[in-house]
Chain A
């Protein structure tokens, strides 16, 4: 293994273990299971009301994925991503990392990897659980084959948003504030613009992987989505991630962080 990859793996391993134990992980785990509660409510409601609900797959695509894409992965990526650098500065633990024989960019990438992995594990668990709750009585081959696609969208979302917010955390002092503005301002507005403007939102490329819903009660959730082909979406998300992580690594290597007393 090259020395750089070795450094990366070591940082990843340290922060993977640390984040599994962290109190905030327990909080975010509960938060990421909110859609499971929603799925349960839908299921129980249909059982007790006797009304035939829409198909499980339809509900899953239009309600559960909406929760994950519009809220949960944004919040997780924001808090984990910005904390990659800023928690070391605010917690004044930065000297423990920067006085080790490691390339500084490996510190950022290793921590980013660990935090993204923990966020992906938490959300995937909730996604699979809510998928099963909504589909357990109608598990068809088509439904099972759709699950990896949903998981993939979730992971792509965490990876690309996480990279962007890692860059925010390395470069900006009030990174959470700017991250919130981006997530719930820019992303939430731009993705609904018609034409090519919506392509300026990460959410657009994530939603492009999802099946287009038939017109119906929940069609407003993907209002005016003009999907980009999956291959191109993947390329754009990959480029955004690479660019943000490269910038984050560069900023962290060059910037002078002052630990305030």
Chain B
């Protein structure tokens, strides 16, 4: 069976800078998460998939047809770009309607579909406001609306959850799951692991322009979970708190901040550590002002995985 999206030996160079290298990938219906730190090559890959740039080597086919030079394919693709860019002097309603008109819908059909798409992202009430007056979250939802308004079979979303508030994120995650249930093919890129985790189990890890791993998110999660984590805790009595952790096997190292009010703990079992910390706060009334994880970002995880 022909895959919905197929990339073969795909490489992209921007002058002397490598954007993507030797990517061979087949994508089937469902949600595929493209995960990688900033600058990993996710956007380059999505631009190649949508024919915005041409590969230096290799080819991309969508539904068995080469994407560049076949404009008719775009009626089956919805693309939500990463950039926060709009025709600012349009209203949200005009924006979606205008882009639908470019999909060859009649004026009436475009209006109906625009209303539906704006309703889907809860922007119907704000549809007549100028885009330049929209908040970041509204702008993100509007970008999503224009990507789905023409009912595409393939939806490509570049960092769609950026700038959304928790409610907005939850709503968008629910919508993506609904689209998956309808048998559509959705590609979502993100540099935030929990976001991808909430959307799909099928992920592609991309790093330094290469596909680093592909598979079920739980396998990747297991790898990531064995990565030693640093947790910074700000509290009035860091030494007393440190003493309680020292007996725990999952705590590898404890360090104190120069300000005398913080503690840096390295653990190889993040879940166990946070469980223990929670119990200390609740039952032993340990006072904690702030908890942060300095290396809880994808770059650190990737560095760890690549190094491993």
A contact residues vs B (CB 8 Å cutoff): 6-7, 10-11, 13-14, 17-18, 21-23, 91-104, 256, 258-259, 261
| Interface residue B256 (Cβ < 8 Å from any Cβ of A) | no
Partner of A256, one of B54, B71, B146: B54
Residues in A whose Cβ lies below 8 Å from that of B83: 92, 95, 259, 261
Residues in B whose Cβ lies below 8 Å from that of A97: 102
**Given A99-B52, A101-B72, A101-B104, 16 further pairs, Cβ under 8 A:** A7-B102, A13-B101, A17-B98, A91-B87, A92-B85, A93-B87, A94-B52, A95-B83, A96-B87, A99-B77, A100-B102, A101-B74, A102-B74, A104-B71, A256-B53, A259-B83
Closest to B50 in A: A99
Partner of B102, one of A11, A18, A256, A261: A11
1/0 per residue, CB under 8 A from A, across B94-106: the answer is 1000110111100
Closest to B102 in A: A100
Judging by beta carbons under 8 Å apart, are A6 and B104 in contact? yes
Residues in A whose Cβ lies below 8 Å from that of B73: 101
1/0 per residue, CB under 8 A from A, across B51-66: the answer is 1111000000000000
Closest to A14 in B: B98
Known: A99-B74, A101-B74, A102-B71. A14 touches B102 (CB 8 A): yes
Known: A23-B89, A93-B87, A99-B77. A14 touches B101 (CB 8 A): yes
Residues in A whose Cβ lies below 8 Å from that of B75: 101
Interface positions, chain B 78-130, Cβ under 8 Å from A, are: 79, 81, 83, 85-87, 89-90, 94, 98-99, 101-104
B contact residues vs A (CB 8 Å cutoff): 14, 50-54, 71-75, 77, 79, 81, 83, 85-87, 89-90, 94, 98-99, 101-104, 146
Known: A99-B77, A99-B79. A10 touches B101 (CB 8 A): yes
Closest to A3 in B: B104
Closest to B146 in A: A96
Residues in A whose Cβ lies below 8 Å from that of B99: 96, 100
Judging by beta carbons under 8 Å apart, are B102 and A102 in contact? yes
Interface centre among A14, A97, A104 (most CB of B within 10 A): A14
Residues in A whose Cβ lies below 8 Å from that of B101: 10, 13-14
CA gap between A103 and B102 in the complex, in Å:
11
Residues in B whose Cβ lies below 8 Å from that of A17: 94, 98
CB distance from B189 to the nearest CB of A (A): 14
Residues in A whose Cβ lies below 8 Å from that of B79: 95, 99
CA gap between A101 and B302 in the complex, in Å:
38
Known: A18-B89, A100-B74. A95 touches B81 (CB 8 A): yes
CA gap between A18 and B91 in the complex, in Å:
10
Interface centre among B77, B89, B90, B146 (most CB of A within 10 A): B89
CA gap between A51 and B14 in the complex, in Å:
68
Partner of A93, one of B51, B77, B85, B102: B85
CA gap between A10 and B101 in the complex, in Å:
7
CB distance from B247 to the nearest CB of A (A): 48
Residues in A whose Cβ lies below 8 Å from that of B89: 18, 21-23
Residues in B whose Cβ lies below 8 Å from that of A14: 98, 101-102
CB distance from B196 to the nearest CB of A (A): 22
Residues in A whose Cβ lies below 8 Å from that of B51: 98-99
Known: A18-B98, A256-B53. A93 touches B86 (CB 8 A): yes
CA gap between A7 and B77 in the complex, in Å:
18
9 nearest A-B pairs in the assembled complex, by CB-CB distance: A92-B85, A100-B102, A92-B83, A101-B75, A95-B81, A101-B74, A99-B79, A14-B98, A101-B71
CB distance from B128 to the nearest CB of A (A): 13
CA gap between A17 and B101 in the complex, in Å:
13
